[in-house]
């Protein structure tokens, strides 16, 4: 559901790598509910997927120009910081 919202807010190239997170959660749920074994390759793949997601989240805004809220050095995405009176 959140990926669908992400595709509506950002370019597909920015959101696409996060869809691979479903593989990580599927592996964890398989281990939790069906006692599937997690191999070292599963761990390596998880690290690669998480690392790619973090790389896209922190460095992707430089290439696309789409601001990423909450990323240090990206002040224009967080607003001016002034409190508005109603």
> Does residue 10 sit within a domain?
yes
- Vertex 50: Cα angle to 53 and 44 (nearest 5): 140
Two structure tokens written together for 75: 């002040």
Distance CA(78)–CA(25), nearest Å, equals 30
Domain membership flag for residue 79: no
Question: Could you report the per-residue pLDDT of 31-64, keeping only the tens digit for each?
Answer: 999 988 989 999 999 999 888 888 877 875 555 5
Range of the domain at 33: 2-66
Residue 14 lies in a domain: yes
> Whole-model pTM?
0.55
Query: What confidence score (pLDDT) does residue 85 get?
Result: 55
Domain count, the chain: 1
**Residue whose entry in the numeric block shows the structure tokens 């990323």:** 71
Residue 59 lies in a domain: yes
Helix-, strand-, coil-residue percentages of the chain, each rounded to 5: 70, 0, 30
Residues 6 or more apart whose Cβ sits within 8 Å of residue 58: 68, 71
């Amino acid at each position: 559901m959140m990926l669908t919202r992400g595709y509506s807010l950002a370019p597909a190239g920015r959101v696409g790598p996060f869809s691979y997170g479903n593989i990580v959660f599927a592996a964890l749920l398989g281990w939790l509910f069906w006692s599937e074994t997690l191999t070292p390759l599963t761990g390596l793949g998880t690290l690669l997927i998480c690392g790619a997601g973090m790389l896209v989240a922190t460095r992707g805004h430089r290439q696309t120009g789409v601001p990423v809220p909450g990323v240090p050095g990206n002040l224009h995405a967080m607003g001016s910081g002034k409190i508005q009176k109603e």
